[in-house]
């Protein structure tokens, strides 16, 4: 792994210095606070989430965050063991590492938080409106612009390490996309004709994330649920929710005060769903 990190922040992580592909100093200059203890910019990694999961526990402290950003990923991972398309020089691959001290049942809150932070940063920095396909996809023009992969380690019923991976297609052109995703994926460049600075989008997301993370720890998920509701693409639509072998269809009626999807089943019963993948099957 080739990597580079900023010289600021107490207790520097041990990463070999090398390249100029991404600038940690530029990212830091866009940040609003010193919440971010380390910003590690890497050239090529297996997956930024893998780096986050392998950091020594001593480096992961409460009330601070670590950001790991790579120019490209050799084994970028999506949910359900899918590959995340991660070519060099174009897009954002960012993992945020935290010690949130929350129970594992609250881990989905971190995914919601990251999706909201990314949507807000894209609006602020790139001037685009993004919708969220519950629970973790960022959509533009009905196509996938980005996704979130949250992974956590728990000790005695508390999350001691959360790694929240955020992938956003920024500067890929249609021709750059592999055929298997070209029909359903998009990028900021494809939608707007404008290129985006990865550093600027990264610091924008980190600022938005930090503000919401502090709110989550102080007041709980409710304010984030309120922010999420109008951004959801699926509410009022017939959907199929797949989670492993389980498949369940219904009307996506709402999200509850814990961010769970409330599905109105054909039987008239309501079911609250914690995780899964949505396919929209009908109109509003
Ligand atoms: C999904 O939509 O399935 C989630 C995609 C998450 C991709 C990001 S890119 C940064 C981080 N590193 C990874 O290997 N995956 C996440």
Report CA(64)–ligand 1 centroid distance (Å): 22
User: pLDDT digits over 241-282, tens only?
Assistant: 998 889 999 999 999 999 999 999 999 999 999 999 999 887
Two tokens, residue 92: 């954002």
Q: Return the residue whose CA atom lies nearest to atom 3 of ligand 1.
A: 78
Q: Express each pLDDT in 53-99 by its tens digit.
A: 999 998 899 999 999 999 999 999 999 999 999 999 999 999 999 99
Calculate how far, in angstroms, residue 94's C-alpha sits from the geometric centre of ligand 1. Answer: 8
Take atom 2 of ligand 1 and give the residue whose Cα is closest. 147
Ligand 1 — pocket residues by CB below 6 A?
Answer: 47-49, 73, 76-79, 82, 84, 93-95, 136-137, 147-149, 165-167
CA of 184 to the centre of ligand 1 (A): 16
Atom number of ligand 1 nearest to Cα 73:
14
Which helix (H) or strand (E) element contains residue 140? Answer: strand 137-140
CA 215/CA 177 separation, integer angstroms: 37
From the CA of 147, give the closest atom in ligand 1: 2
pTM of model > 0.85: yes
CA distance 73 to 82: 14
Indicate the DSSP class of residue 45: E
- The residue among 191, 16, 17, 169 whose CA lies nearest residue 85 is 169
> pLDDT class for 7, splitting at 50, 70, 90?
very low
């Amino acid at each position: 792994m080739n990597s580079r990190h900023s010289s600021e922040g107490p207790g520097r992580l041990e990463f070999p210095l090398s390249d100029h592909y991404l600038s940690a100093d530029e990212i830091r200059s866009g940040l609003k606070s010193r919440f971010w203890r380390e910003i590690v910019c890497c050239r090529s990694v297996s997956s930024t989430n893998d780096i986050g999961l392998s950091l020594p526990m001593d480096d992961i402290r409460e009330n601070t965050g670590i950001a790991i950003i790579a120019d490209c990923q050799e084994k970028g991972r999506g949910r359900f063991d899918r590959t995340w398309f991660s070519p060099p020089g174009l897009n954002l691959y960012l993992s945020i590492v935290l010690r949130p001290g929350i129970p594992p049942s609250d881990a989905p809150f971190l995914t919601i938080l990251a999706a909201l932070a990314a949507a807000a940063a894209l609006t602020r920095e790139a001037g685009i409106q993004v919708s969220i396909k519950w629970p973790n996809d960022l959509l533009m023009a009905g196509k996938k612009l980005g996704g979130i992969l949250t992974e956590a380690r728990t000790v005695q019923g508390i999350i001691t390490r959360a790694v929240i991976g955020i992938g956003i297609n920024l500067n890929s052109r249609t021709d750059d996309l592999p055929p298997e995703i070209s029909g359903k994926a998009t990028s900021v460049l494809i939608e707007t004709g404008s290129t985006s600075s990865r550093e600027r989008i990264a610091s924008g997301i980190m600022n938005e994330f930090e503000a919401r993370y502090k709110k989550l720890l102080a007041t709980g998920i409710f304010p984030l649920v309120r922010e999420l509701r109008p951004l959801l693409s699926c509410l009022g639509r017939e959907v199929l929710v797949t989670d492993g072998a389980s498949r369940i269809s219904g009307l996506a009626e709402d999200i509850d005060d814990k961010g769970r999807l409330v599905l109105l089943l054909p039987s008239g019963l309501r079911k609250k769903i914690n995780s899964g993948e949505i396919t929209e099957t009908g109109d509003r």
